[in-house]
Amino acid sequence: MKNSIILLLSVIFFMSCSNQKKETVVSSKLNKDSTFANVKDRAWWKEAVVYQIYPRSFKDSDGDGVGDLKGIISKLDYIKSLGIDIVWLNPIYGSPNADNGYDISDYESIMKEFGTMDDFNTLLKGMHDRGIKVVLDLVVNHCSDQHKWFTEARKSRDNPYRNYFHWWPAEKGKPAFRPGSFEVDGSGWRFDSLTNAYYLHYFSYKQPDLNWENPKVRQEIYGMMRRWFDKGIDGFRMDVIPVIAKDTTFPVITQKELDEKFRGDWFTYFASTPAVHTYLHEMNKEVLSKYDVMTLAEGAGTTKATAMNFVDPDRHELNMSYHFDGVGIGIEKGRYKVMNPNWSLLEFKTVYSDWDSVFANKGWGTIYLGNHDQPRMLSRWGNDAPEFREASSKMLTTFLLTMRGTPYYYNGDELGMTNAKFDKIEDYRDIEMMAEYGKVKNAGGDLKAFIESQKTGCARDNGRTPFQWDSSAHGGFTTGTPWIKVNDNHAYINAAAEDKDPASPLNYFRKMTALRKSSPVLIYGKYTLLDKENPQVYSYTRELDGKKILVMLNFSTKNATANTVIDLSKGKLLINNYATPYSGKELRPYEAVVYQY
Ligand code: GLC
């Protein structure tokens, strides 16, 4: 009896200690400032600013022209100085690099050009020591054709790995059309003569799609995820995750049906079957729920009506998702990602306001204007002409850090880096660009005009040129020959120069991260669009517990008036992107003002 009482007491003692430990760990991740005291449903990933690093282009430490993990490690203090909380790294795993790491041949090793697992451990510790979390890319719609699963699978029809992929036996004839995004002929099927069958690849033929209907595939992936989490990473950004589920009877689709249902976005028709939620729910139960981590869906093909299904906390799937409606604005229909320079600010406001309303009561949104798949935000939504570059860069930073939803900020945007604007195809490296160029060529199109269109268009390499550290050769990115050209404007757009200049876009970004992180209103406050029909100015308020903030952003090259009817005479100016304060009357070109009132 005495023994069992002692045992019971020690169990209670142990439980209370471990709970306490859990409490402290969780609360230490949140801002303890009393201004946050009344906020409900807080989470560290809601209060964070995410900084995306494209490792290939960030910093090269060994002179081979490719960025690497040691390069990132050498810049940890710079990263910390930005005031960001989470770093998302694009794929760093073993890969033959057909699609810059989005074709993975080994999920549990580090890409040779990037370094070793020891380097990764050092990087993770270095980030954690500085209070920064690390999120990796999870690319599991497909792997590389060099992955052991695939090299085995293609050997014979009865190979144990055969069913890890989607096959169509050639004796059944040609399979029904499915899109292959990075193929010149646009086909998502590749004939493999060894076993007289076609395999499915929604991207390039070097990226065969994994068969999620096979429970063994799912278990392999969950095991791999657990091992990364056990190592201490803090989350995953999930590449094209809605695409993992598709109708594998592969029905024939007529052109008419395609036109009616395609809506210019193949993801919604050829992928995203309801099974995606069965898989994500299972992944949550078996892996995610066991760790304090964050998850982000690259919500390809999701709509305002379907996005909540991925992030509704009651459904136990993922935390956040990002949509493509924003980055789809101004893209001319039927032409490869050609931007209409006269994209409409009214549409921009509608898209971001409507998406805010999706998560107004539950779930949580994200906000971004650029990433490794997009042109530079400055060249696209701001203005990279010398007279407007700095103001518009800061204005866009203001937008990203004053909206509701976790901001995802792409490396180099804090410097106001601009599109590559390459003059010839030889300067491009991206597999998608090569395929599109091939399509124009095969169709006898105007190749010169195509290259020209991509200077302001969406060629992904526009956002992938090396980070501009200083004005030295190759922008201080490498001592060797960079894998892709460094933008010549590194002579004056670079971190070293901007660090010294208190009025630079870089220092403005630092001020904005500090402002957001100290403000529950900017993080959690209700968003209301004002002055909806104003074609030049985007104005909105954020509001929480009676505290109000007004944001006014001039998206044009001309002076403009914001018709907000808010009395600012007693307001406090929190930040302004011009050296002389806002007059209270007209906003100057690309002016951004944030008031508490
Ligand atoms: C995602 C990635 C992109 C990649 C594609 C295929 O959209 O962001 O870079 O090419 O998926 O993995």
Beta bridge partners, 527, equal: 542
Other C-beta atoms lying within 10 Å of the C-beta of residue 596: 16
What is the length of the chain?
597
What residue's CA is closest to ligand 1, atom 9?
373
CA–CA gap between residue 140 and residue 180 (Å, rounded): 16
Provide φ and ψ at 140, rounded to 5°: -130, 15
> Is 430 touching ligand 1 by the criterion CB < 6 Å?
no
Other C-beta atoms lying within 10 Å of the C-beta of residue 157: 14
> Is 410 touching ligand 1 by the criterion CB < 6 Å?
no
Ligand 1 mean position, distance from CA 441 (Å): 24
For 170-199, letters b (16+ CB in 10 Å) and e give eeeeebebbbbbbbeeebbbbebeebebbb
Give the number of the atom of ligand 1 that is nearest the alpha carbon of residue 371.
8
CA–CA gap between residue 98 and residue 371 (Å, rounded): 19
Give the number of the atom of ligand 1 that is nearest the alpha carbon of residue 139.
12
What residue's CA is closest to ligand 1, atom 6?
102
Identify whether the C-beta of residue 143 lies closer than 8 Å to the C-beta of residue 101: no
Ligand 1 mean position, distance from CA 61 (Å): 26
CA proximity to 29, closest of 517, 361, 369? 517
CA proximity to 145, closest of 100, 74, 201, 89? 201
With the most atoms of ligand 1 within 8 angstroms of its CB, the residue from 209, 238, 373, 432 to mutate is 373
Residue 141 C-beta-side C-alpha neighbours within 13 Å: 27
> Is 203 touching ligand 1 by the criterion CB < 6 Å?
yes
What residue's CA is closest to ligand 1, atom 2?
239
Q: Concatenate the DSSP letters of all residues of 280-304 into one string.
A: HHHHHHHTGGGS--EEEEE-TT--T
For 59-89, letters b (16+ CB in 10 Å) and e give bbbeebbbbbbbbbbebbeebebbbbbbbbb
Domains 148-200 and 525-596 share a fold: no
Identify whether the C-beta of residue 211 lies closer than 8 Å to the C-beta of residue 217: yes
Taking the chain (597 residues) in consecutive chunks of 10 residues, what is each chunk's mean pLDDT?
Answer: 48 42 46 88 97 99 98 98 98 98 98 98 98 98 98 98 98 95 95 98 98 98 98 98 95 77 73 95 98 96 94 98 95 84 96 98 97 98 98 98 98 98 98 97 97 96 98 98 98 98 98 97 98 98 96 98 91 96 94 97
CA–CA gap between residue 250 and residue 272 (Å, rounded): 14
Q: What is the pLDDT of residue 27?
A: 43
Class of domain 525-596: mainly beta
Collapsed DSSP state (helix, strand, coil) of residue 106: strand
Q: What is the pLDDT of residue 19?
A: 38
> Is 102 touching ligand 1 by the criterion CB < 6 Å?
yes
DSSP state of 413: G
CA proximity to 398, closest of 505, 493, 534, 494? 505
Ligand 1 mean position, distance from CA 239 (Å): 6
Other C-beta atoms lying within 10 Å of the C-beta of residue 342: 6
Give the number of the atom of ligand 1 that is nearest the alpha carbon of residue 460.
9
With the most atoms of ligand 1 within 8 angstroms of its CB, the residue from 57, 102, 410 to mutate is 102
Cα distances from 181 to residues 189, 416, 439, in angstroms, run 11, 30, 12
CA–CA gap between residue 527 and residue 551 (Å, rounded): 10
Q: What is the pLDDT of residue 262?
A: 66
Q: What is the pLDDT of residue 264?
A: 58
Ligand 1 mean position, distance from CA 315 (Å): 26
Read off the tokens for 354.
């409507």
For 376-410, letters b (16+ CB in 10 Å) and e give bbbbbbbbbeeebbbbbbbbbbbbbbbbbbbbbbb
265 is catalytic: no
> Is 324 touching ligand 1 by the criterion CB < 6 Å?
no
CA proximity to 431, closest of 95, 192, 140? 95
Read off the tokens for 245.
């589920």
* Long-range contacts from 107-113, C-beta under 8 angstroms, 24+ separation: 107/143, 107/224, 108/224, 108/227, 108/228, 110/69, 113/56, 113/64, 113/66, 113/68
498 is catalytic: no
Provide φ and ψ at 220, rounded to 5°: -60, -45
Catalytic residue among 137, 298, 384, 430: 298
> Is 139 touching ligand 1 by the criterion CB < 6 Å?
yes
Read off the tokens for 502.
């208190």
> Is 240 touching ligand 1 by the criterion CB < 6 Å?
yes
* Residue 416 amino acid letter: G
Continuous segment of H or E residues that includes residue 500: helix 495-500
Residue 81 C-beta-side C-alpha neighbours within 13 Å: 11
CA proximity to 238, closest of 141, 306, 377? 141
Ligand 1 mean position, distance from CA 179 (Å): 15
In the CATH scheme, what architecture does the domain 148-200 have?
Answer: Alpha-Beta Complex (3.90)
Give the domain 50-141+215-513 fold. Answer: TIM Barrel (3.20.20)
Domain positions in the chain are 2-32, 50-141+215-513, 148-200, 525-596
Q: What is the pLDDT of residue 23?
A: 32
Q: What is the CA radius of gyration of the chain?
A: 25
> Is 228 touching ligand 1 by the criterion CB < 6 Å?
no
Q: What is the pLDDT of residue 17?
A: 40
Ligand 1 mean position, distance from CA 102 (Å): 6
Catalytic residue among 113, 239, 356, 591: 239
With the most atoms of ligand 1 within 8 angstroms of its CB, the residue from 210, 239, 296, 430 to mutate is 239
Q: What is the pLDDT of residue 4?
A: 52
